[in-house]
Structure 1
Amino acid sequence: MKKVFLSIVLLVGLMLQTKSQTLTPEQLQADFDLFRKALHEVHPQPYLYTSKSTFDSLFTATRARLNQPMSQQGFYTSMTPLIAALHDGHMKWIVSGKDQHYPFFTDQLFPLQLYFTGKKAWISGNYGSTEVPLGAEVLSIDGKPVSDIIEQLLPNITFADGFTMQGKYEELNHFFSGYYATYITASPTYEVIFQDGIVQKTITLPAVTEEMVKTYTEKNKPASQPPFRLTYPSSNTAILTIERFWSGKNEPDYSKFLKETFRQIEEKQIQHLVLDIRNNEGGEEKYGIELYEYLAKQSFHYYDHIKVARKEKISFAAWRPGIYDKLLRKLLVKKTANGYVFNYPKALKTTTSKRNAYKGDLLILVNGNSFSVTTEFSARVHADKRATFIGQETAGGYRTNSSGLFTIVQLPNSKIDLGIPMFGFQMANVPAEIQHGQGIVPDYIVTPAIEDIIKKRDKVMEYTLQLIGSKAAVLPASK
């Protein structure tokens, strides 16, 4: 879903763009009113995590602050808390035509890649040319303690459903420079105090550009591999990696890949199957269901129902899939005891597992970039007690997520694109003990250390293979 959405946003963004000119109070309030109307008419479950009364107070307070001229960046950051209050990781708030992680600054960016856990950060990479010790702990930036910086940035990161946190940390791991520039400051130089072993040092580093950040990231990313692949670390164990739940042109056909994969698994009499869906941010709902057909031990009910905001057309100009208003909305949106729902039988029916479905030991690897369809799939597997989960909590919510189709409205004065998911997918038969707003919490939480990141050591996979090799199948969890 993410790639499709961002492609649409880029097209919309080419229509009208603006520099960071000053916006009048009248312009700001007009964009604010459209923002609020769009959320009300499109979002399927806006009060899932924040009550309507609290939201109304937030809206009132925010609009009251738009009573004086403000820059595009000022408006953007003033509105971010409203997006964050939805606790919906699929919400999009993107300056038209800009990279979503670098909306205002293409230079004067913080020059180090950092790795975050809890309230600490370590140097995991260097976008610039000044030598710095990888693995050193960063204590402060421009005199501000790292713990304070993390506390300031986390509430402005929206890549998380409910009250999950690991997805936010993954955002910092990859895009800290952009968040720091947007929500704290951009500067020609940065003073960094770090701890290298027992020695504390202070260094002043020149800023870098967005191009330098992306060049470094591209150079250091893992070698490209097929998005779906099957490997055999031993004669009785297979590793199935699914990087995304969609397939592009000139790539492996997903359905054919699954068919051949599970034919091989059956033929080789595999006893332990490791399913790696870390960093899989989702895709098409049907792909998750199709995968589980090959893993379920019995028939299963995937979704309970799918919420939508209303049956009527929206009252404002926006982009949305033409087929929805022309056909789907009229035929498939019904009013029920659950409110308005999208009655899509194929996704709501009881599904039978495949004849050759794998029935052996299943271990699933997840992390803070496991999101959307990936978390839906994981929730179904977890609820059915079908697998052992290893890694870190998912960014997606266990009980529900809002995704599917999107409505995109460009605010006319600030030229910021607001992308709103239209469907609220409710998982079926969720265990009562699952907490409101949690993701999939692994049975074994394994957190890579900074040394693992620097050496590109896959600590989670190593732990998993050790777990398989252990006759007792019990190892102390790595924290």
Structure 2
Amino acid sequence: MKTILSLAAWCLLTGSAYAQTTAPTPEEPLLTVPQLQEDFSRFRTALEEVHPEMYRYTPKQTYDSLFAATAKQLHQPMSRQAFYVTLNPLVAALHCGHTKWLVAGRDEHYPFHPDRQFPLKLYFLGEQAWVVANYGSGAVPAGAEIVAINGRPMATVIRQLLPRLTFADGNTVNGKYADLNQFFSGFYATFIEAPAVFAITYKAGNAEKTVSLPATTEQKIREVEQAPKPASQQPFRLTFADNQTAIMTIERFWSMEKQEDYKAFLKNSFKQISQKQIQNLVLDLRNNEGGEEAYGVLLYSYLADKSFRYYDYISVRQKQKYSFKAWTPKFYGILRHLIRKTDNGYVWPYQTGLKAHMPERDAFHGKLYVLLNGSSFSVTTEFAARAHADGRATFIGQETGGGYTVNSSGVFTIVQLPHAKLDLGVPMFGFHMAGADRYPYHDRGIIPDHTVVPTIDDVLSGHDRVMHYTLQLIQPKSVGGSTANLSTTK
């Protein structure tokens, strides 16, 4: 935890430096000081009146210091981008991956400079990055390690970006790395620079080279990133590794039309698992960023050994109407009277996860292995926390991006700052997990029993190191080899 002074100084220095070096775009005039101050006041009020867990990870005294340091920066006109960047540390200090800080009408990951994006797709581990693909016409070989960008060492770039990223709860970092792997170009343009040409120094083998590559576009990045999946690949899948082991993949906790119904999938799948007398179930929840809370509850009812409660309680910030104009779900206004005051503060009393649930008839009681990574978030992390609290599974992969103890999400209040046209999306419910009080790391996600991290070679070759390790753990003789070089076991 940073001290009050260092947090405030960091906010002051990073915001001021950006405001001084970033010029406004021709089509966007500078925001005046009164406009900045009015928008800043709306921003602060929205957080303080809406977010159910605002001071969970950053104490109020520290937050007040951050607000004061930020207010002192608003003494001269700013571009919208400079204002966005100046307020970013206040969003990051929430340590809430669901809070959204957006430029109205633009993609949240590419809010500025859509035609001046970094032209390479990278894979990050620690303070290193390797090339996965070229977005533009460059020819940096896949697998090459990036040493520097425009003279900035790669380690320096990573250290500069990580504190700015918000896709993580508490002090987890794997969600931030997952975001870097997907959206590095947008983050670099927003928080560092957006030149027309990039000087890229890389290592391929023993040789180190520097090449100049033109910037690419957001559209080109989308074409590479959003390659369509095979039409036959469903988001919910059940396969069998052998006559004792099943693999269930759930890519998301929500359904779409013309795809298999989630409830029907679970019912049919667990019936098959029961009929085949499967002893081992691998549940793959990697890259599952969540969805509907009830889907997680239902899944656990097919895996629980006994009656369970999913949530301990659901916190909300207050019961009164907000003092500012904002969009909120209609049902919340209608049912707000249900909110009540308890020893835990204001709570929302109605949700299926608050009730006691019994295991389903075809519930699986064999050995369960759950695969996770930094993109396992929200409802996925809730499910994993519930299973972990019961000691129900062996967890393999990487720490989740979502927090173990509480997940702030559910429904959102959307506030638009009137002058900058920046949107702040604030989650309204804090889902406190039952049994989480026994977990010693209240500022972390689910830490796997076996940490297995893919390498750049795995990424390029398509080798699933985590699945291979898991099947080897279950049936070492059938997979062969040793797990010693695949994982750090905790």
TM-score range with shorter-chain normalisation? over 0.9
Closer/same/farther in 2, CA of residues 43 and 431 from structure 1, 3 Å limit? closer
Match for 2:257: what amino acid?
K
Supply the distance in 2 between the matched residues of 1:406 and 1:471 (Cα, whole angstroms). Answer: 50
- Name the residue aligned to 1:422: 428
- Name the residue aligned to 1:6: none
Does residue 389 (structure 1) correspond to residue 413 (structure 2)? The answer is no
1:434 Cα shift? 2.3
CA deviation digits over 1:343-388, x for unaligned, max 9?
1153212211112210011111110000000000000001111111
- Name which of 269, 275, 285 aligns with 1:277: 285
- Name the residue aligned to 1:46: 54
- Name the residue aligned to 2:307: 299
Q: Which region of structure 1 is more displaced relative to structure 2, 240-249 or 79-88?
A: 240-249
1:248 Cα shift? 1.7
Does residue 152 (structure 1) correspond to residue 139 (structure 2)? The answer is no
- Name which of 205, 229, 254 aligns with 1:246: 254
Supply the distance in 1 between the matched residues of 2:442 and 2:86 (Cα, whole angstroms). Answer: 27
Supply the distance in 2 between the matched residues of 1:286 and 1:19 (Cα, whole angstroms). Answer: 45
- Name the residue aligned to 1:478: 487
Does residue 78 (structure 1) correspond to residue 92 (structure 2)? The answer is no
- Name the residue aligned to 1:203: 211
SS in 2 for 1:418: strand
Supply the distance in 2 between the matched residues of 1:97 and 1:413 (Cα, whole angstroms). Answer: 14
Contact 1:405 1:422 in 2 (8 A): yes
1:20 Cα shift? 3.0
Closer/same/farther in 2, CA of residues 471 and 185 from structure 1, 3 Å limit? same
- Name the residue aligned to 1:37: 45
Spell out the pairing of 1:144-183 with structure 2 (5 A cutoff).
144-183=152-191
- Name the residue aligned to 1:111: 119
Spell out the pairing of 1:319-398 with structure 2 (5 A cutoff).
319-326=327-334, 328-330=335-337, 332-344=338-350, 346-398=352-404
SS in 1 for 2:415: strand
Supply the distance in 2 between the matched residues of 1:47 and 1:91 (Cα, whole angstroms). Answer: 14
Contact 2:239 2:248 in 1 (8 A): yes
1:471 Cα shift? 6.7
Contact 1:389 1:442 in 2 (8 A): yes
Root mean square deviation of aligned Cα:
1.6
1:273 Cα shift? 0.6
Supply the distance in 2 between the matched residues of 1:239 and 1:36 (Cα, whole angstroms). Answer: 46
Match for 1:317: what amino acid?
K
Supply the distance in 2 between the matched residues of 1:443 and 1:66 (Cα, whole angstroms). Answer: 47
TM-score of the superposition, structure 1-length normalised? 0.93
Closer/same/farther in 2, CA of residues 295 and 19 from structure 1, 3 Å limit? farther
Match for 2:383: what amino acid?
F
- Name the residue aligned to 1:134: 142
Question: What are the ranges of 5 or more consecutive residues in structure 2 without an aligned counterpart?
Answer: 1-25
CA deviation digits over 1:434-459, x for unaligned, max 9?
21211011111111110111112211
Contact 2:389 2:439 in 1 (8 A): no
Supply the distance in 2 between the matched residues of 1:300 and 1:25 (Cα, whole angstroms). Answer: 54
Spell out the pairing of 1:212-231 with structure 2 (5 A cutoff).
212-219=220-227, 222-224=229-231, 225-231=233-239
Contact 1:20 1:73 in 2 (8 A): no
Match for 1:112: what amino acid?
L
- Name which of 59, 65, 77 aligns with 1:57: 65
CA deviation digits over 1:35-80, x for unaligned, max 9?
1111111100100000101100110110111111000000000000
- Name the residue aligned to 1:189: 197
Match for 1:350: what amino acid?
A
Spell out the pairing of 1:228-239 with structure 2 (5 A cutoff).
228-239=236-247
Supply the distance in 2 between the matched residues of 1:141 and 1:366 (Cα, whole angstroms). Answer: 31
Spell out the pairing of 1:84-95 with structure 2 (5 A cutoff).
84-95=92-103
Supply the distance in 2 between the matched residues of 1:456 and 1:97 (Cα, whole angstroms). Answer: 35
Supply the distance in 2 between the matched residues of 1:19 and 1:323 (Cα, whole angstroms). Answer: 39
Identity percentage of aligned residues: 55
TM-score of the superposition, structure 2-length normalised? 0.91
Supply the distance in 1 between the matched residues of 2:28 and 2:356 (Cα, whole angstroms). Answer: 52
Question: What are the ranges of 5 or more consecutive residues in structure 1 without an aligned counterpart?
Answer: 1-17
1:222 Cα shift? 4.8
Match for 1:458: what amino acid?
D
- Name the residue aligned to 2:128: 120
Does residue 99 (structure 1) correspond to residue 107 (structure 2)? The answer is yes
Match for 1:72: what amino acid?
R
SS in 2 for 1:192: strand
Contact 2:454 2:465 in 1 (8 A): yes
- Name the residue aligned to 2:19: none
Does residue 314 (structure 1) correspond to residue 322 (structure 2)? The answer is yes
SS in 1 for 2:72: helix
Supply the distance in 2 between the matched residues of 1:301 and 1:86 (Cα, whole angstroms). Answer: 27
Supply the distance in 1 between the matched residues of 2:204 and 2:39 (Cα, whole angstroms). Answer: 48
- Name which of 425, 431, 439 aligns with 2:445: 439
Supply the distance in 1 between the matched residues of 2:177 and 2:396 (Cα, whole angstroms). Answer: 18
Supply the distance in 2 between the matched residues of 1:431 and 1:356 (Cα, whole angstroms). Answer: 30
- Name the residue aligned to 1:14: none
SS in 2 for 1:262: helix
Match for 1:133: what amino acid?
P
SS in 2 for 1:239: strand
Contact 1:403 1:422 in 2 (8 A): yes
Match for 1:223: what amino acid?
P
SS in 1 for 2:438: coil
SS in 2 for 1:86: coil
Contact 1:271 1:361 in 2 (8 A): yes
- Name the residue aligned to 1:22: 30
Closer/same/farther in 2, CA of residues 433 and 402 from structure 1, 3 Å limit? closer
Contact 1:303 1:425 in 2 (8 A): yes
Aligned residues: 459
